[in-house]
Amino acid sequence: MTSLVPVTEGPTGSPSARDQLAALPHDGGDWPSPWRVAVGALDERARPAAVLMLFGVLDGVPSEHAARAVARDLDVLLLARATTLGHHPGQVAFPGGRVDPGDDDAVDAALREAVEETGLDRSGVEVLGTLGELPVPVSNHLVTPVLGWWARPTPVRAVDDAESAHVFRVPVADLLDPERRRTVTVRRGRSVHRSPGFLTRADGRDHLVWGFTGGLLDALFDRLGWTEPWDRSRTLDAPL
């Protein structure tokens, strides 16, 4: 893995990706309406949780897609959850988990979980801020997204096979590529729910990013103005 080469400007002379991300916690924006009407409801036992949305120039392999809003070398860190987990088994996710009593706050929890799941060195992560909490009724958590910039990348791996099956980086331009966008359909009984989805490939493995992580990326890209028009009628069934 190479050391960071800062992305100082967007492809059209716009502010850097880091600066755009750093402005989000202060933009006064809110998550789109689907998040305000989550499927199901949290109960009194709901637990606080946090995820680390870690961006940066993570390696020397740029995207083949020339996105209009970001440089080809901008990446985001993701992992594939173990298939044996009780909640969201096998799904692609951000590093993260519950806020434990020993954590100082959601930021501390997100960084601790990232270390436990990926082995990264947290001292190399510049925390840009936190975004508004989001409910995840299926696991009864209220999740705080923590935005980070990987100022000094370190090697990552699946530290615990019981938690993570694969840890990988994805070029953001790949996720923005309209050819890789899908609407993922989730059917539970008579209920049908739809989630923004992203097809991606990393280290020789194909992944579908959907559910909470897909919705969070989709909403983040919309807030940043990075989203490229895509065909929402192209659908896939969720791999439940």
Q: Please say if the pLDDT value at position 93 is more than 50.
A: yes
Taking the C-alpha atoms of residue 66 and residue 11, their distance in angstroms, rounded to an integer, is: 9
Give the C-alpha distances (Å, rounded to integers) separating 229 from 98, 170, 182, 193, 218: 35, 20, 12, 21, 12
Residues with Cβ < 8 Å from 13, sequence gap 6 or more?
A: none
Asked if residue 9 lies in contact with residue 108, where contact means CB atoms within 8 angstroms, the answer is no
How many helices and strands in the chain, by DSSP H and E? Answer: 5, 12
Domains and CATH numbers, the chain: 17-172 (3.90.79.10)
- Report whether pLDDT(87) > 70: no
Annotate 44-69 with DSSP letters as a single string: TT-EEEEEEEEEE--SS---SS--SS
The model's pLDDT over 121-131, given as tens digits with 9 standing for 90+, comes to 999 999 999 99
Let me know how long the chain is: 240
Please answer whether residues 133 and 143 qualify as being in contact, where contact means their C-beta atoms are separated by less than 8 angstroms.
yes
Could you give the 3-state DSSP secondary structure of residue 206? strand
**Average pLDDT, stretch 208-229?**
94
**147-166 tens-digit pLDDT:** 999 999 999 988 877 666 78
Task: Give dist(CA 209, CA 224) in Å, integer.
Answer: 19
28-77: pLDDT as tens digits? 877 776 555 455 567 778 899 999 999 999 777 889 999 999 999 999 99
> Per the confidence metrics, is the pTM higher than 0.75?
yes
